[in-house]
Structure 1
Amino acid sequence: MTSSVAAWVRVAAAALLVWITAAPGHAADADIAQVMAPSGHLRAGLYPGTPTSVLPDGTDNPRGVGYAIGKEMARRLHVDYEPVVFTKNAEVLEAIKTGAVDVVFTNASAARAKEMDFGPVYLEIELGYLVPDGSALSNAGDVDASGRKVGVTTGSTSDATLGRELKEATLIRSPTLKDAVALLKDHEIDAFATNKATLFEMAEQVPGSRVLDGRWGEERHAIAIPKGRDAARDFLRDFTAEIRSSGLVSAAAERAGLKGTIVPGK
């Protein structure tokens, strides 16, 4: 090898080393972690009582699809995982709007998309009704009738949607799912509306209750982040594709006992 060729090889090798160490891919992990979790902790907004979020059980690894996704996201970002459990979903949604948490796992409705940014859908769930023991109702289509009282959680998708769509029945708003369970037990409402994953969980707390056949809509759950973190969009897209294809979502759903899911595209 001539001296000129050897010199060129040395220069090329040095340039390659500089490019490798400075390439965007090597800085990407640190950069995206700073965008997604600026505090150094991934703060995941959750609320109890539904398998789509978290089902606290006193262990370090509670059941819940949202909890499991957040834990995996923190691992991918190489940051600490900080689940922040609120009393009700309305508090979770407010926290992501203000940036008090970094991610939430919720129905990607058009109204919410105005206040937070969503990644792709990772889970679709039927929306339905839970009725107390002794109810004569058998199908979701039977609910909207004069004199009927339909429970929803305040500020939920069910609240917004059924507030527009129910023509005869009256909405009764509850601040939390725990309050809704009490209303069903006391027969103060004729049905409670939300996604079927939550309804089946609630049914275990209300003896004799039933989830009605049929559905009045679907929820499309996605990871949401605060507005202004546009640099995280590619990460959210890729991460969502990975957790779906790897089976993480389906495994978390099975562990949480989640029911009422819809095959995407059906």
Structure 2
Amino acid sequence: MKPDPDVLRALAPTGVLRAAINLGNPILAATDPGTGQPRGVSVDLARALAGRLGVALEPVVFQAAGRSVEAVTAEEADIGFFAVDPLRGAGIAFTPPYVLIEGCYLVRDASPLRQNEEVDRPGHRVAVGLGSAYDLHLSRELKQAAIVRAATSPTVVDTFVAQGLEVAAGVRQQLEADARRIGGLRLLEGHFMVIRQAMGLPRGRGEAAARYLVDFIEAMKASGFVADALGRHGIEGASVAPAA
């Protein structure tokens, strides 16, 4: 999969691969407590792509998905890892998804809410991470409930608790971890959305570069690389997306 020179220049115009890494989604990336460096499935994929291109990897780390999207759209980074969303597609060319993740609701134990369909009611306030896939999705889908935006996805549950909100929305694993940390909280059964996590690059980088990235991610899924990375990092509740 060694690219031709034009594709290489499109993917790594500065001579290194600048990869936007979002630490706001614990399924994809986190900070290694031993080294202080980012690690996770998205980091492994970025490193593998840099290796195939024959360039060094330069992680560009963000705490929230929205900032990561902005960086790639503005070409401050060459690639990123995002939930596929039509609004983001205006500036980013997405690959097919490589991982599928559940988006869930969390409530207090005493809450009368039992079903996902009960959330969208007058008087309900739903905490989401600003600019996250959940923010974009629920901004379109919720007609009666109000959205309260936390600064980042990892701070959603703390915002939910501090402001006495009715519902928190986010990645199942993050919500489960926060429920254990805080206590007195529970997830509603099932999910309100399935997030398709993909790689992406600035749309202006051209069709050849976008096709190379598509072929790369399909090869990573088919070879077992993505499944191995999920296992290596102890990720549960996410599944490898089917072949495109």
The answer to whether TM tops 0.5 is yes
Higher helix share: 1
Q: Does 1:248 align with 2:225?
A: yes
Q: Does 1:51 align with 2:26?
A: yes
Partner of residue 131, structure 2: 155
Which whole-Å CA distance do the structure 1 matches of 2:111 and 2:228 have between them? 34
The verdict on how the C-alpha distance between 1:34 and 1:200 changes in structure 2, with shifts beyond 3 A counting, is farther
Which whole-Å CA distance do the structure 2 matches of 1:132 and 1:84 have between them? 36
TM-score by length of 1: 0.80
Higher strand share: 2
Residue type of the alignment partner of 2:117? G
Q: Is the CA contact (8 Å cut-off) linking 1:41 and 1:81 kept in structure 2?
A: yes
Which 10-residue stretch deviates more, 128-137 or 214-223? 128-137
Residues paired across the two proteins, number: 240
Q: Does 1:124 align with 2:108?
A: no
Partner of residue 65, structure 1: 41
Q: CA deviation at 1:239?
A: 0.6
Q: CA deviation at 1:243?
A: 0.8
Deviations 1:214-263 (A, max 9, x none): 22222111110012112212211211111101222122223334343357
The verdict on how the C-alpha distance between 1:100 and 1:219 changes in structure 2, with shifts beyond 3 A counting, is same
Partner of residue 39, structure 1: 14
Residue type of the alignment partner of 2:18? R
Match of 1:176 among 148, 152, 155: 152
Which whole-Å CA distance do the structure 2 matches of 1:94 and 1:116 have between them? 10
TM-score by length of 2: 0.86
Match of 2:170 among 194, 209, 228: 194
Where does the alignment leave 5 or more consecutive residues of structure 1 unmatched? Answer: 1-24
Q: CA deviation at 1:47?
A: 2.1
Helix, strand or coil at the partner of 1:228: helix
Which whole-Å CA distance do the structure 2 matches of 1:69 and 1:42 have between them? 12
Partner of residue 112, structure 1: 88
* Matched-pair identity in %: 34
Find runs of 4+ consecutive structure 1 residues off by over 6 angstroms: none
The verdict on how the C-alpha distance between 1:255 and 1:180 changes in structure 2, with shifts beyond 3 A counting, is same
Partner of residue 15, structure 1: none
The verdict on how the C-alpha distance between 1:178 and 1:107 changes in structure 2, with shifts beyond 3 A counting, is closer
Q: CA deviation at 1:123?
A: 1.4
